A and B are shown apart, each in its own frame.
Chain A
C-alpha cells in the first residue's frame, strides 16, 4: 500500500478519503472478517472480527490441562463458525492426538467437518498446515505446535493471505512457567484463554462454562480481557448476564457442596 504524496494543491479531505478508500480496498482483498456477534468483542477488534485470511494464535493461560481444554474449544468454536459460514471442512494438524471428537461435535464441528492430519514433529505439522492454507478449499486450518518462530509464523501468515484461508495456531505450553505467546510472531491476533468459575445454578449441577478471554495483542488495536461464556452448539461465545448476587450465590454453593 503506497500512500500518494500529499501535494500542496490537493485538499486535505480528498487526500484522507483516498487513503480511506485504499485501506478499505486492502481490507477487501484480505477477505471478510468473521465477527464474534458479541458487540463487546467486535467493537474492540480492529477488523470488527477475525480476519478471514490471516494468522491467529491461541494459547492456554497456564500449563494446566483445564486451560488447555478451554483454549482448544475456543479455537474449535471459531473454526466451527468459519466452517458453518462457508459450509466447508477444516483441517486440524497436530502431532499428538488426544482430542475427543464427540466434544468437538458439541461446539459445531461435526465429524464430517474435520480432517485430522497427524505429523511426527512440529515442522511437519507446520508444512501440512501451509499446504492446507495454499490449497484454498478449506474453511479454516488449526495447527497445534509447541514452537513456531517468527519465520514460521510469517510463512503461515503469507500462505493464509495467498489462499484466503484463516489459520488458528494453537500453541501448547513447553514449560510450566513460560507463556508460549512471549515469543515474536506475525499473527494478526493472539489470544490467551483460561477457565473461570461458572455461574452457580439454583439447583445442583454445573452452569454454562466460562472462560477468561484475553486478547494479548492485535494489529492496529489494543489488548483487552473479558470473561465470557463458553461456546454453544454452533461455536458462539456469549457475554455472561450480570449477576447482582454473585458472591452470595457462590458462598451458598460452596456451603451446599461442602
Chain B
C-alpha cells in the first residue's frame, strides 16, 4: 500500500464533503421534474461542469490511457472528433434545439409524438440495453485502476466467518460496492439536483487532479524527449514486428508440414506448444526487449509483446486506420446528439440557447478527455521501456496506473485518487439517474392505465435507481473484460446510438419518416453491435472470425439509416405506419 496519512485525509475529506453536499439537495425535490431534470433551472457554467464531470469517469481514463499506451497521441483521435462534433452542434443547434423545445424528459418520449407509443417503448428498451451494458464495466475497470495506484493486488481480500461458514471478500468488490452505495444515497435522495451539486465539486477535484498529474508527467518526461521517444519506440516496434512475422511464417510452415505427415491434431498441438514456448521466452527476455521498446504483457497467457503503433497519424496507426476513424466520426456525431447522459444536460437547460452555450463551452474539454489520460498512457510506455519493462501482471490497461504510482509523490497520490473517485462518482450518479429516468419514463409510464400521483412517481423512479445500482454490483463486478475497453464501450453504445441517431434525424428533419421505418431502424441498428458482442464472445481471441469494431459500428449506422428509409417507404406504399404530424414537434409539457 503506497498511501500516506496525508493521502487518506485528502480522500476522506473529499468523500465527506461530496456526500453531505449531495444529500442536502433532497429538500428541493418535490416532483419527478425536479428529480430528473432539476426543474429545468440549469445555467451554462453549471451545465458545462456537470456535463464534463459526468463524461469523465475512471473507465474513461483507463481506456483513453490504454489508447495512448498502444497508439500514442493518435489514440486520442476520438476525443478530437467528439470535440469537433460538439462545437458544430453547439454552433448550429442541430438536433438539440428542437429536442429542448419539445420539453421532453428523454429522447424516446419525443418519438411517441411522431411514431407512436410502441416505438417509444422499443426505443426505451434499446436505450436501456445499450446503456446498462455500457455502464456494466465501469465498476470493475474503476476498481482495477484504484487498486493498482495504491499498490494493492486486484485479487487481494480477506475471509470472514459467518455462522460457521467462511466467506471470501475481495478488496476491489468491497471498495466499489461502498463507493456505489455513497453515490446511490445522494442520487436516490436528490436526483438531478444532487447530481449537479456533486458533479460541480467533482469537476473541481477531478480537474485539479488531471492538471497536476499531467504537469507531473510532462515534468518527468520533457516534451522533446516524449516526442522523439515515441517516434523511436514506433520504429523499433516495426523492426520487431517484421522479425516476429518471419518467425510466425516459419512456424506456420512447419505446422503445415506436420499436418500433412502426422495429421491436423499433431499440427495444432505443435502450434499450441510453440505459442506457449514463445510466451515463456518473451517473459524471460522482457528486460532485454524493453531496451528495444518492446514491452511484454505478462497478464495474458501466453505472454504477448506490446509495441508502439504509429503515434501521430491515426490513418497509419495499427489497429486504427481510415475505416476506424470514419466509425469514430459517426459515433462522435451520434454521441453528442443522442447519448442520453449528454442530452440530459440539454433537457435540463433553462432554454435552447443555454443548451447550445453548454455545448460551446464544453467542446474542447473533450479533447483533453482523451489527450491527457492518453499522455499518461504514452508516458507509461516510455517509462517502462527505459526501466526494464512492465511490472509482473501489468498490461496495456493497467500500465498507466503502475506508472503514476511510481512517479507521484506522497500527497499527489491522494489528489489523484480523490480526482479519480470524483470522476467515478460523477459518472455513476449521472448514468444511474439517466437510465432510471428512461426506464421510468419510457418503459413503465406507457404501460400504466392511470397516471401515478407525484409521490408515487418519485417513489417509483427512486426504486428504479436502487434496482440499477444492485444490478451494477452483481453484474458489473463479475464481468471480465477482454480486449480494448474503448472498443467494448463504443460497440455497446452503438447498440442504441446508431438506431436513435437515425430516428432523431428522421423524426426532426424528415417528414417522410413513419413508425414502420422507425421500428426497422431500431431493430436493424441494434443487430450489428449485438452480433459483434455474441460472435466475439463465442470465438477465440485470435480467431479470424472475430468482427472488427469498426465493421460492427459502421454496419449499425448503415443498417439503421437503411431501415429508416426502406421501412418508411414500404410503410407508405402499403398505407401503414403512424401519420406524420402536420406541424413540427413542439412542447409536450406545460
Q: Do A and B come from one complex?
A: no
